């Protein structure tokens, strides 16, 4: 449904040029919810704004539903934009229009008749739970309600794609959850393809099917959400995940961590189990089979879109031979093992 083909965006020229996006390839299949996550300034916003050409890519092609938007003239592009609904962090509702009239705006722009507008806006207000707010002005609404109006408005032109630019970043956690639920609902009911950018792992975790990680204008990692949460491929991915799961080794331990193993050190490892492994008593089995002692420093179980994910930070205590044997035993059970460092036992 959406295909970015070698998209680059450069501001300015010469040595002072800013490369906001570097050769981005991205494909979002029909009906998918695709998230792009990254830190501020990584190029997320530029990326999503390139999809409907609010920003024109310096290089590359943007293909939506088989149409190359970068090749279209301004009139054709305006028509194509009716296929691309968009919602924003700050809602961008017209303060001078009621809820009903805000939702009607895209239809007015398309030249839809007044009668048809009335017929089409009603169901959208139903869908977004705003029927009783139709005659109110945005200033009278809460943030969550405003974003619902924006969603209804984005859906008015019956788009095939919904672009969400940090749509929940200005909302509190509870409201975020209800907006995400609404987006998921729309995705299921209408088969709408959703591309969203966010800096919140919560958003990715709760509704995305696939996730891309953007850093410094480059898409550095892309994976199914379940895989990303089990074993991110990049350090940035791991940083995001650890910060989200709040799974860091205790500070006193971090201070004692050494990168290289020494004579009397034990490895500290981060283990990620998924699926059946979560239910298996792997640790006690490990202790029995390999003869190492396992000291669990932190552990938690997360449920990510139906997949169960177990995470643990543990110290493996034993001779070097035994601990390395233990590590390979863990890996053979399809457990993602990351050695965080080594620690002197009796320091």
DSSP letters for 67-96: EEGGG--HHHHHHHHTTEEEEETT----TT
- With CB under 8 A as the contact rule, which of the stretches 93-101, 113-121, 190-198, 333-341 interacts with another protein? 93-101
Contact region with another protein (CB under 8 A), list: 131-139, 226-234, 276-284, 304-312: 131-139
Site membership for another protein, residue 18 (CB under 8 A): no
Check residue 110 for interaction with another protein (CB under 8 A). yes
Q: Binding segment for another protein among 134-142, 230-238, 314-322, 339-347 (CB under 8 A)?
A: 134-142
Pick 42 or 154: Cβ nearer another protein: 154
Which is nearer to another protein, 160 or 209 (by Cβ)? 160
Q: Are 50 and 59 in contact (CB under 8 A)?
A: no
Distance of CA 109 to the CA centre of its chain: 32
Question: Do 250 and 332 meet the contact criterion of CB atoms below 8 Å apart?
Answer: no
For residue 138, the SS3 value is helix
By the rule CB under 8 A, 97 interacts with another protein: yes
Q: Which residues pair with 294 in a beta bridge?
A: 316
CA 187 to chain centre: 15
Applying CB under 8 A, does 13 fall inside the site for another protein? no
Q: Is 73 in the site for another protein (CB under 8 A)?
A: no
Per CB under 8 A, 124 contacts another protein: no
Rounded least distance, CB 178 to another protein, Å: 22
Using left for φ > 0, alpha for ψ between -120 and 50, and beta otherwise, residue 334 falls in: left
CA 221 to chain centre: 12
Q: Which of 19, 82, 120, 199 binds another protein (CB under 8 A)?
A: 82
The CA distance from 317 to 265, in Å, is: 8
Q: Is 208 helix (H, G, I), strand (E, B) or coil?
A: coil
Question: Shortest approach of another protein to residue 100 CB, angstroms?
Answer: 13
Determine if 301 is a binding residue for another protein (CB under 8 A): no
DSSP code of residue 171: S
Q: Of 12, 66, 95, 252, which lies in the binding site for another protein, with binding defined by CB under 8 A? A: 95
Regarding 43 and contact with another protein (CB under 8 A), the answer is no
CB 92 within 8 A of CB 100: no
Strands 2-11 and 59-64: antiparallel
- What is the DSSP code string of 251-318? HHHHHH-BSS--TTEEEEEEEEEEGGGGGS-HHHHHHHHH--EEEEEEEEEEEETTEEEEEEEEEEES
Cβ(202)–Cβ(53) below 8 Å: no
Rank residues 104 and 236 by Cβ distance to another protein and give the closer one: 104
54 binds another protein (CB under 8 A): yes
Q: How far, in Å, CA of 170 to CA of 147, rounded?
A: 10
Which one of residues 109, 243, 296, 299 is an interface residue with another protein (CB under 8 A)?
A: 109
- CB nearer to another protein: give 112 or 220: 112
**Binding segment (CB under 8 A) for another protein, from list 100-108, 198-206, 208-216, 224-232:** 100-108
Using CB under 8 A as the binding criterion, the count of chain residues that bind another protein stands at 28
Site for another protein in 140-179 (CB under 8 A): 153, 157, 163
In total, the chain counts a number of residues equal to: 347
86 binds another protein (CB under 8 A): yes
User: 80 or 187: whose CB is closer to another protein?
Assistant: 80
Question: Closest separation between CB of residue 74 and another protein, Å?
Answer: 9
Is residue 96 close enough to count as binding another protein by CB under 8 A?
Answer: yes
Task: Tell me which residues touch another protein (CB under 8 A).
Answer: 52, 54, 77-82, 84, 86, 88, 90, 92, 94-97, 105-106, 108-110, 137-139, 153, 157, 163
């Amino acid at each position: 449904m959406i295909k970015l083909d070698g998209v680059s965006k450069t501001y300015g020229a010469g040595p002072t040029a800013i490369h906001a996006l570097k050769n981005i390839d991205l494909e979002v299949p029909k009906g998918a919810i695709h998230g792009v996550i990254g830190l501020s300034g990584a190029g997320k916003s530029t990326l999503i704004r390139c999809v409907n050409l609010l920003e024109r890519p310096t290089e590359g092609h943007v293909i939506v539903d088989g149409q190359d938007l970068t090749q279209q003239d301004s009139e054709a592009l305006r028509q194509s934009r009716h296929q691309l609904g968009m919602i924003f962090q700050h809602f961008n509702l017209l303060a001078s229009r009621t809820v009903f009239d805000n939702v009607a705006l895209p239809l007015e722009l398309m030249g839809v008749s007044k009668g048809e507008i009335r017929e089409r806006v009603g169901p959208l207000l139903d869908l977004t739970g705003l029927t009783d707010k139709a005659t109110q002005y945005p200033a009278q609404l809460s943030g969550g309600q405003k974003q619902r109006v924006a969603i209804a408005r984005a859906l008015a032109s019956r788009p095939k794609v919904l672009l969400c630019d940090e749509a929940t970043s200005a909302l509190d956690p509870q409201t975020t959850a209800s907006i995400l639920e609404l987006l998921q609902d729309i995705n299921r009911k209408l088969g709408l393809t959703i591309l969203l950018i966010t800096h919140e792992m919560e958003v990715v975790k709760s509704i995305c099917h696939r996730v891309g990680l953007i850093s410094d204008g480059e898409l550095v990692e892309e994976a199914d959400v379940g895989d990303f949460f089990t074993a991110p491929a990049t350090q940035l991915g791991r940083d995001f995940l650890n910060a989200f799961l709040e799974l860091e080794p205790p500070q006193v331990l971090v201070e004692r961590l050494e990168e290289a193993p020494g004579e009397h050190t034990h490895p500290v490892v981060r283990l990620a189990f998924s699926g059946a492994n979560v239910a298996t008593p792997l640790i006690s089995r490990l202790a029995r089979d390999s003869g190492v002692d396992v000291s669990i420093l932190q552990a938690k179980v997360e449920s990510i879109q139906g997949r169960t994910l177990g995470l643990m930070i543990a110290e493996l205590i034993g001779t070097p031979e035994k601990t390395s044997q233990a590590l390979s035993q863990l890996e053979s059970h399809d457990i993602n093992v990351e050695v965080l460092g080594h620690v002197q036992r009796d320091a």
